[in-house]
Amino acid sequence: MMPLPLSLPPSDLILMALVIPFVGAVLIALAGRWPNIREMVTLVTAVSLAVVVWSLIPVLQEGGRPELKLIEMLPGLSIAFKVEPLGMLFAALASLLWIVNSVYSIGYMRGNNEQNQTRFYVCFPIALMAAMGVAFSGNLLTLFILYEVLTISTYPLVAHKGDAATVRSARVYMGILLGTSIGLFLPAMIWTYSLAGTLDFTPGGILEGKIAEPLVGVLMLMYAFGIGKAALMPVHRWLPAAMVAPTPVSALLHAVAVVKAGVFTITKVFVYIFGIDFLFNQPSHKLIIWIACFTIVVSSFIALRQTNLKRLLAYSTIGQLSYIVLAAAVLKPLSEVGASMHMMAHGFGKITLFFAAGAIYVASKKTDITEMRGIGRRMPWTMAAFSVGALSMIGIPPTGGFISKWYILGGAIQDDNYIALATLVASTLLNAAYFLPFIFAAFLYEEDVKPKKDHGEAPWPMVLALTTTALLTFAFFLFHQPIADLEAQILVK
């Protein structure tokens, strides 16, 4: 993979990664009246963004850390960007999947005859721009700014349908995300600034020696719950509430961009603000492990009881996100790498699952798994992809989820952390418990709830998209080594 704009200096590439989606949003707004041109602009924007972002990868593999400083916002604090391996992975994942998601969206929006399509297509690039900004941020202030932009730009997408129930759920979404970020994340950030005098992401952290127990624990908890996008319990309610959004939104944003922004932020705070070694020496880091384990187990139980497919996937996501938080909090080299690998593996797997759920909805208007027996015969490609995604969630080779689980388990063993081990084993079993029966029923049983009208597969763009992401899951299993090597760079001080 040797993409083109290598002649440009890396800081320009960072700037382009932010400007391209913004310009795209403006052009989409202008092209609102001509749907085909509008969709074309979306695809071109997505592809150019991915090209720009992926061309930064070689720079990083060699150990480079491109920087870009924009403007000094407060005395001593600027809006600055600095690319490092964690952020690179997140940005690469989001930009790649945006292309696939755009193809899928076209199929979904047209297949369902949705209204307000221009508003939908305009908000997506802005959300992606914010995600790129979060990924490439060089200090906590820049990250916070773009984190909030992400929240606000996704509101119109969540409230897309516009009916009373959707607006109410969207209220929960905004309430929890804004409440946690302004109520906990912001004071934690300002407190960090007043302790350390800076907010730059520095390998080894900036809080060494500046704060002690028990205040470290308080600060850690403020970050853990303040970064509501990571959906640790009890601030997780926004994720099921966001399922009222159209499935392309749930797929890219709530399986990839928004939630990954959350766990990415937590990981970045742990690694670059607290510092792995500093945090490991503080007893209160075990609190986070407990909270993550609790979230994993409880969310899996709740998922077991769900019959609405999207809500089931939402609770599954909550659990999977806590895998990443757990891995990050174990603070051992293997698990840190595992955390970043799982961001990718879960991204590919979950987006496939959501794509499949949306395909089922568009084709048959069904949302409840009890009505979906036998649907595997009508929609074989869709259910096959779904199975691949489910296997990745459970962690069975040859899917990507197996690799990341391997790393996380390795890190837990390195730490002799039996709680983490037990939780991982238990949740694997629970994942199997809520995915496998559905898959068997879909393929092997007779259809007992007749659909309203006869249907086959979903529209072809959707099927193309979900097949692509399922294949990416396999690809991740096979070609994960360069990614692991890149992420291992974060362990070097």
Site string for other proteins, 36-75 (x = CB under 8 A): -----------------------------------xxxxx
What's the closest the beta carbon of residue 194 comes to other proteins, in angstroms? 5
Return the number of the residue (197 or 482) whose C-beta is nearest other proteins: 197
Question: What span, in angstroms and rounded, lies between the C-alpha atoms of 146 and 85?
Answer: 19
Q: Tokens standing for 433?
A: 């418990």
What's the closest the beta carbon of residue 72 comes to other proteins, in angstroms? 8
Q: Does 396 bind other proteins (CB under 8 A)?
A: no
Q: Does 206 bind other proteins (CB under 8 A)?
A: no
3-state secondary structure of 452: coil
By CB under 8 A, name the one of 88, 106, 123, 174 that touches other proteins: 174
Return the number of the residue (187 or 482) whose C-beta is nearest other proteins: 187
Cα torsion 257, 259, 265, 270: sign: negative
Question: What number of other Cβ atoms are within 10 A of residue 481's Cβ?
Answer: 9
Question: What span, in angstroms and rounded, lies between the C-alpha atoms of 487 and 363?
Answer: 40
Site string for other proteins, 178-197 (x = CB under 8 A): xx--xx--xx--xx-xx---
Q: Does 261 bind other proteins (CB under 8 A)?
A: no
By CB under 8 A, name the one of 41, 79, 273, 344 that touches other proteins: 79
Ramachandran category for residue 113: left, alpha or beta (phi over 0 → left; psi -120 to 50 → alpha):
left
Residue 31's Cβ-side half-sphere holds a number of Cα atoms within 13 Å equal to: 18
Question: What span, in angstroms and rounded, lies between the C-alpha atoms of 146 and 258?
Answer: 11
Question: What span, in angstroms and rounded, lies between the C-alpha atoms of 124 and 138?
Answer: 23
Question: What span, in angstroms and rounded, lies between the C-alpha atoms of 392 and 388?
Answer: 6
Q: Does 76 bind other proteins (CB under 8 A)?
A: no
Return the number of the residue (28 or 330) whose C-beta is nearest other proteins: 28
Q: Does 215 bind other proteins (CB under 8 A)?
A: no
3-state secondary structure of 479: coil
Total residues in contact with other proteins, by rule CB under 8 A: 28
Q: Does 257 bind other proteins (CB under 8 A)?
A: no
3-state helix, strand, coil split of the chain in percent (to 5) is 75, 5, 20
Return the number of the residue (45 or 153) whose C-beta is nearest other proteins: 153
By CB under 8 A, name the one of 149, 221, 396, 484 that touches other proteins: 149
Q: Does 29 bind other proteins (CB under 8 A)?
A: no
H helices of 281-417, in order, are: 285-304, 309-330, 333-364, 375-378, 380-394, 400-414
Instruction: Give me the residue label for tokens 């794509």.
Output: 355
Question: What number of other Cβ atoms are within 10 A of residue 147's Cβ?
Answer: 25
What's the closest the beta carbon of residue 237 comes to other proteins, in angstroms? 16
Site string for other proteins, 98-137 (x = CB under 8 A): ----------------------------------------
Where along the sequence are the contacts to other proteins (CB under 8 A)? Answer: 71-75, 79, 141, 144-145, 148-149, 152, 159, 162, 167, 171, 174-175, 178-179, 182-183, 186-187, 190-191, 193-194
